[in-house]
Amino acid sequence: MLYNRLGGSGLKVSALGLGTNSFGSRADEAASARILHTAIDRGINFIDTANIYSATASESIIGTALEGRRHEVVLATKAGLPKGEGPNAKGSSRYHLMLELEDSLKRLKTDYVDLYQIHTFDPETPLEETLRALEDMVRSGKVRYIGASNYAAWELMKALGLSDRLGLSRFVSTQTSYSLADRTPERELVPLCLDQGVGIIPYFPLAGGILTGKYRAGEEAPAGSRAATNPGFTRFFGESNLALGRQVSSLADKLGCSASVLSLAWLMKQPTVSTVIVGATSKEQLEHNLGSVELPLDAAALEELDTLSRPFRNGEPFALYRLP
C-alpha cells in the first residue's frame, strides 16, 4: 500500500481509502464487516463515514467491526448535513457539532476520531463559531485533525485565513466530487489546496459507477448497482457522461485493466490528492479496486485520459451537497 501525507499534516493515509456510505443499506452488517476487515488487512487505513450515512447505521456497524482494531485505522466522520427536522438538527453551529460528535463517538465505540469534517458550508453560522468549536474538540482530545467538505474555494480560503489570524486549528483536508467525469475542482480548489497545503479527498471517484462502464444507454441498470437501488441516480446519465464511461473502458481494455482501476489510478496521480475514497458492497469489489494503487500509468496513458476528460473541467460539478 502507498501512503501519503494528509495535506500539510504529518498524518499518513492510504492512497486508497474506504468509503462506507453503503454500510447498513446496500451492504448489510455482515458484508460491511467483511469489507472493512479486508480493507485493513490489505493496508487501507483511511475509513470515511458520516453521521447520516444509512441513517446512522454506517457508524454503528463500523464501531462494532473495529473492536480490537481501532488503533489500526485513521477514522474520519462528518456532521453538518440535515440529521433531523428540528431547527438545530443541521449546520455547523457549536450546538449541533458538539451534539453530533458525542453521538458519533458512541456509535463508533471510540473516545476520539482522527479526522472530523464539516459536511458542507453553513452560511447561517459564523465561521469563527464553527472553528472555535472545532478547536475545543481538538483541545479536548476527542478530535485529532479537522477537515472540510463541499466547501467552495472562497469558503475554504476564508476559513483558513480566519484560523491563521485567530491561532486556531486549520482544515488539513477537504472532500469534493472529483473524477475523470468531474474535473471542476481543478479550476479553483486544486490551486488553492496546492498553495495552502490542504489535501483533497475525492468522493464519487467513479462518478457513482459511470466510470466503470457498467451503465449503458437504453439498458437496465445492473442488479445491486447504485442506479438499481436508487433510481433517482439516473439523473446523472447524460450522454456525455455515459460516452466518457465507454471511452475509459476502451482505453482500460488496451491497458489490460478495468475501467474502475484505471479511473482510480488517474485520480491518485493528481496533485494534492491525499486519499481516494471508494465504496464497496462486497470484499471482492474492494479487492479488485485495490489494483489501482499499483497500476503503472505512463505519460501516454495520462495524456489520453486528460484529453478524454478535459471537457469535464467546465460546467457544473458532478455532485455537490449543500444545506437547503
The answer to whether the beta carbons of residues 63 and 110 sit under 8 Å apart is yes
Nine-digit cell string for 244: 466518457
Which residues 6+ apart lie within 8 Å of 68 measured at CB? none
Q: How is residue 23 annotated by DSSP?
A: B
Residue 11: its H or E element: none
Nine-digit cell string for 155: 469558503
Concerning whether 203 is annotated as a catalytic residue, the answer is no
Residue type, 279: G
> Residue 132, exposed/middle/buried by CB under 10 A (0-12, 13-18, 19+)?
middle
The position carrying cell 481494455 is 253
Tell me, rounded to whole angstroms, the distance of Cα 44 from its chain centroid: 14
Nearest partner of 320 among 165, 152, 77, judged by Cα: 152
Euclidean distance between CA atoms 195 and 191, whole angstroms: 6
Choice among 53, 116, 151, 203 that is catalytic: 53
The answer to whether the beta carbons of residues 93 and 65 sit under 8 Å apart is no
Strands 12-14 and 3-5: antiparallel
> Residue 140, exposed/middle/buried by CB under 10 A (0-12, 13-18, 19+)?
exposed
Nearest partner of 315 among 155, 182, 120, judged by Cα: 182
> Residue 268, exposed/middle/buried by CB under 10 A (0-12, 13-18, 19+)?
buried
The answer to whether the beta carbons of residues 275 and 4 sit under 8 Å apart is yes
Residues with catalytic annotation?
53
